[in-house]
Structure 1
Amino acid sequence: MSRSYCDRVSRRQALRLGSVGLIGGLTLPRLLELEATAGNGKEAKAKSVIFLFLEGGPSTIDMWDLKPEGPAEIRGPYQPISTKVPGTFVGEHCPLSAAIADKFTIVRSHSHKDNGHSTGYHYCMTGYKAAFADGQAGGTPNNLLFPSLGSIVSRELGPRGNIPTYVNLPDPMEAGGPGFYGPAHAPFVLETDPVQPDFEVRDLRLPPGVSEGRMERRRKMLAAVEQQNKAQQSGRTNVMSTYYEKAYSMITAPDARKAFDISAESDKTRERYGYTSLGQCALLARRLVEAGSRFVGVDNGSWDTHFSQFPSLKEDLIPSADRAFSALVTDLDERGMLESTLVVMMGEMGRTPQINARAGRDHWSMTQAILWAGGGVKQGQVIGATDNRCAYPTTEPYGVEDVICTLFHQMGIDTNKTYYTPLGRPVPIVNGGRVIPGLV
């Protein structure tokens, strides 16, 4: 299916149009623009973030906060199992994570009041409530004003080499855009899944028949034209200039091509992460932060389990997340990267305690467990608790702003900073919040 963007140009058309531009065959600049429009910090513990987002709402009560003493219509069919941390239990389909529970912390009392998918996603990715009703966003990304977490990290910390500072895998995150920060802080989006056997990052190489010398001459010609017309440049012209510079640095950088080459990993390592979209995206995320990326957001869908959820959770969703998360944390630890890489796994909401008439669970944002590892957070803990139905926190609840504040704190980003939109509206980096007590 050909995806259309807000300027009514599809990706296929963009590829075709790019081949006849001044830099003939260079389609990546236009692609970068479409990805955005469709959609220097302090010393700190965390140098990078890998943000695993389970879109649709993972079922906390079936994974990380089981209620075995509850009635059947609440507890579900799964049993708790012990973990490496005495006294801490998780769901029976999370055995790999259970075996490394001493390397991460579960925050069980995350809670907010947005039960919508698009609006909840917007809230979690920006820290601001959406100005649209759920299901009426009208595009990806939908955060046209407020910058996403990755875009804030990009602006505050800047790049490390030629690797994209902010990346979305495998597709654009629904609220992952730069907002009023503009194209310089938009994510690089693959729009191709590393689990596919023919996986390749499109346009991350010179066009056939174009040498590096020829490309450099074209770049100089473009720079000369832009310099002559600099006084007249504005709006879209300046935006395109940003994308051309980003595209050129990517195409001419061997380290960027190397970082995206997941085929360089051994079969053993790839199997360790699991041959699933989430597993291979997590592995590619590790390669990217190892090469210099600051924020890698992984969007993993299909967690909206309204009906017949237990077979799909058991056979597909939970094992995939369990394997990907445990492999990522262990791999980072073995490579000496865990202390400097913050790993967060969450969704926009949890699921209802009550199993519905269709053998599923519905939207429930009042309780959700979030997993935190690396980046200076404490390990082997459970923070917060919920009632015997996993319906509401029985300890201090921690909201979206607290999650964001903690993430930025670990990266050395000043959470008191405020930027102003082109119309002069003040937008604080974090709209309130605090560092989650006991987590760091």
Structure 2
Amino acid sequence: MAHDCKDCEGTRRFGLTRRDALRGTLGGFLGFAMARQTELFGAAMPDLLLPQDTTTRAAKSVIVVWLAGGPATIDMWDPKEGRENGGPTQAIDTSVKGIQYADNMPTIAKVAEHVGVIRSMVSREGSHERGRYLLHTGYIPTGTVSHPSMGSITALELGNKKLDLPNFISLGGSTDGAGFLPPEFNPFVVDAGGARRPGADNKKDAGAGDKVKIANIDYPAGVDKNRFRERMKFLQEQEADFEKEHASDEVTKHKTAYEKADRLMHTPLLESFDLSKEKPELTKAYGEGKFGRSCMLARRLVERGVAFVEITLGGWDTHQDNFTKVSSNCKQLDPGLGTLIKDLHDRRMLDKTLVVCMGEFGRTPKINQNTGRDHYPRAWSAMLAGGGIQGGRVIGATDKDGVEVKERPVTVPDLFATIYTAVGVDPRKKNVSPLGRPIALSDNGVAVKELLT
């Protein structure tokens, strides 16, 4: 019987719907332009902050590749060739002696010296919604508090407040946001668009398909720069008059919102979104589809100082026809992610950029009657590379059939503690919710020291 998982996030390819675009873009745009955290909540309470000299900052930016739907990591990072549970997936050698990945990952296998794989991830959350929340915030959903996502925390901790671009950008779909943090730490959602036109290998041939469109960034119809400036001047005069009689923090926040939005609309850094400036051979290596473009754009964004970029690639909810779908998905994932790692290294940016690839859980080692794999949080893998991470390593192990973790189990809070430590942020640091509850960045997680430099 065909699987009918109406709640499965992986049942669509995670392109932007109209609702996603409005919610993500407008929310991120206005959130980026809101007042500073200390103006709203007082940020983290000073007496609850642990000393920051307990960690050494390595990475300055984080790129997360989010595999929506729950990827079959047994067919990616932890192959079981020759076992019934392994199916047709074969193991291939990597650039590191003794380490093998699945044959779906040939490009990443060539840069394995920069990659650390955790093959012993464990969780109890096997539903898409709860798993997604856990892997974005580090906490199980409780309903009593909306936890900030990793992207929002990273934007808060690493973000440059003077940067005209948002410090948290989501490419390819909406994602978890600021939670109880101020809305300026919500994601700014951008759709990287479709593939480049065939043969678009120079400025003459490269058209609008090479320029990523940002919603709500252009002037309205019939408004040019001069008219826009006149409107902004009029708005400032009105606000000044209003402030004389109604001076408050809310007025200041409103002014700050418009000022930041104005800066974003006119910053020269918007050229980051013009992919036509990249060499054709590099564009081809990344892959000319949406995911490849997103990976290239992510590199361009962190190159210009953006603290956190999340790239979404959907389609991993493989209850049916797992091996065909995983193979197809990896034809996008492998060249895009592998080239991203190599490109960052070639530009001497990898030491300062942490790259993470993960989904909400793994999938069953046992192959079901539809040649698929079902949800399986008990044993799965996550990948890390770059800043603060020791490459060429595999942490933990599953048994010969991939059913149980037999060595070095790593929890999701442990993963979050590792990521925060790699970027120089103490995972025990606490922010205070609006209800006055101190909440640590990691839910009692312990960093995987074997992965850290």
TM beyond 0.5: yes
- SS class of match (1:218): helix
Match of 2:364 in 1: 352
Contact in 2 for aligned 1:29/1:244 (Cα 8 Å):
no
Q: Does 2:391 align with 1:379?
A: yes
- Figure out how many residues of one structure are paired with residues of the other and give that number: 403
Match of 1:158 in 2: 159
Q: CA deviation at 1:321?
A: 1.2
Bigger Cα displacement from structure 2, 411-420 vs 207-216: 207-216
* Distance in 2 (alpha carbons) for counterparts of 1:148 and 1:242: 24
* Distance in 1 (alpha carbons) for counterparts of 2:324 and 2:283: 25
From the superposition, tell whether residues 350 and 29 of structure 1 become closer, same or farther in structure 2 (CA, over 3 Å).
closer
**Of 119, 129, 140, the match for 1:108:** 119
> TM-score, normalized by length of structure 1?
0.84
Contact in 1 for aligned 2:415/2:448 (Cα 8 Å):
yes
Match of 2:206 in 1: none
Match of 2:103 in 1: 92
Contact in 1 for aligned 2:60/2:158 (Cα 8 Å):
no
From the superposition, tell whether residues 94 and 111 of structure 1 become closer, same or farther in structure 2 (CA, over 3 Å).
same
- SS class of match (2:418): helix
From the superposition, tell whether residues 376 and 291 of structure 1 become closer, same or farther in structure 2 (CA, over 3 Å).
same
Q: How does 1:124-139 map to 2 (within 5 A)?
A: 124-131=135-142
- SS class of match (2:125): coil
Q: CA deviation at 1:228?
A: 4.4
- Provide, for residues 284-337 of structure 1, a one-character-per-residue CA deviation record: whole Å limited to 9, x for no partner: 1000000110000111110000001212222x1122111111100000000010
Contact in 1 for aligned 2:28/2:188 (Cα 8 Å):
no
Q: CA deviation at 1:93?
A: 2.0
Q: Does 2:124 align with 1:122?
A: no
Q: Does 2:335 align with 1:333?
A: no
From the superposition, tell whether residues 30 and 416 of structure 1 become closer, same or farther in structure 2 (CA, over 3 Å).
closer
* Distance in 2 (alpha carbons) for counterparts of 1:106 and 1:31: 32
Whichever residue aligns with residue 145 of structure 1, its letter is S
Q: Does 2:292 align with 1:279?
A: yes
Q: CA deviation at 1:29?
A: 6.3
Q: How does 1:2-17 map to 2 (within 5 A)?
A: 3-4=18-19, 11=22
**Of 265, 268, 276, the match for 1:251:** 265
Bigger Cα displacement from structure 2, 290-299 vs 218-227: 218-227
Q: CA deviation at 1:219?
A: 3.2
Q: CA deviation at 1:421?
A: 2.0
From the superposition, tell whether residues 220 and 413 of structure 1 become closer, same or farther in structure 2 (CA, over 3 Å).
farther
* Distance in 2 (alpha carbons) for counterparts of 1:97 and 1:31: 32
Contact in 2 for aligned 1:212/1:252 (Cα 8 Å):
no
Contact in 2 for aligned 1:194/1:200 (Cα 8 Å):
no
Contact in 1 for aligned 2:63/2:310 (Cα 8 Å):
yes
Match of 2:231 in 1: 218
* Distance in 2 (alpha carbons) for counterparts of 1:266 and 1:434: 42
Q: Does 2:307 align with 1:294?
A: yes
Contact in 2 for aligned 1:194/1:284 (Cα 8 Å):
no
Q: How does 1:412-423 map to 2 (within 5 A)?
A: 412-423=424-435
Q: CA deviation at 1:123?
A: 0.5
Q: CA deviation at 1:347?
A: 0.7
From the superposition, tell whether residues 239 and 356 of structure 1 become closer, same or farther in structure 2 (CA, over 3 Å).
farther
Match of 2:74 in 1: 61
Match of 1:182 in 2: 182
- Provide, for residues 94-129 of structure 1, a one-character-per-residue CA deviation record: whole Å limited to 9, x for no partner: 111111111211111111110011110100111111
- SS class of match (2:264): helix
From the superposition, tell whether residues 99 and 11 of structure 1 become closer, same or farther in structure 2 (CA, over 3 Å).
closer
Contact in 2 for aligned 1:97/1:323 (Cα 8 Å):
yes
Q: CA deviation at 1:430?
A: 1.8
* Distance in 1 (alpha carbons) for counterparts of 2:253 and 2:403: 46
Whichever residue aligns with residue 200 of structure 1, its letter is K
* Distance in 2 (alpha carbons) for counterparts of 1:353 and 1:340: 36
Contact in 2 for aligned 1:36/1:186 (Cα 8 Å):
no
* Distance in 2 (alpha carbons) for counterparts of 1:277 and 1:118: 24
From the superposition, tell whether residues 229 and 4 of structure 1 become closer, same or farther in structure 2 (CA, over 3 Å).
farther
* Distance in 2 (alpha carbons) for counterparts of 1:30 and 1:89: 42
- SS class of match (2:398): coil
Whichever residue aligns with residue 190 of structure 2, its letter is L
* Distance in 2 (alpha carbons) for counterparts of 1:394 and 1:35: 44
Match of 1:138 in 2: none
Contact in 1 for aligned 2:30/2:257 (Cα 8 Å):
yes
* Distance in 2 (alpha carbons) for counterparts of 1:347 and 1:161: 30
* Distance in 1 (alpha carbons) for counterparts of 2:179 and 2:64: 19
Structure 1: tracts of 5 or more residues without a match: 15-27, 133-142
Q: CA deviation at 1:243?
A: 4.1
Contact in 2 for aligned 1:110/1:397 (Cα 8 Å):
yes
* Distance in 1 (alpha carbons) for counterparts of 2:238 and 2:93: 66
Whichever residue aligns with residue 262 of structure 2, its letter is Y
CA RMSD of aligned residues (A): 2.9
Q: CA deviation at 1:196?
A: 6.3
Q: Does 2:444 align with 1:432?
A: yes
> TM-score, normalized by length of structure 2?
0.81
- Provide, for residues 69-111 of structure 1, a one-character-per-residue CA deviation record: whole Å limited to 9, x for no partner: 422xx11111111111111111112111111111211111111
Match of 2:149 in 1: 148
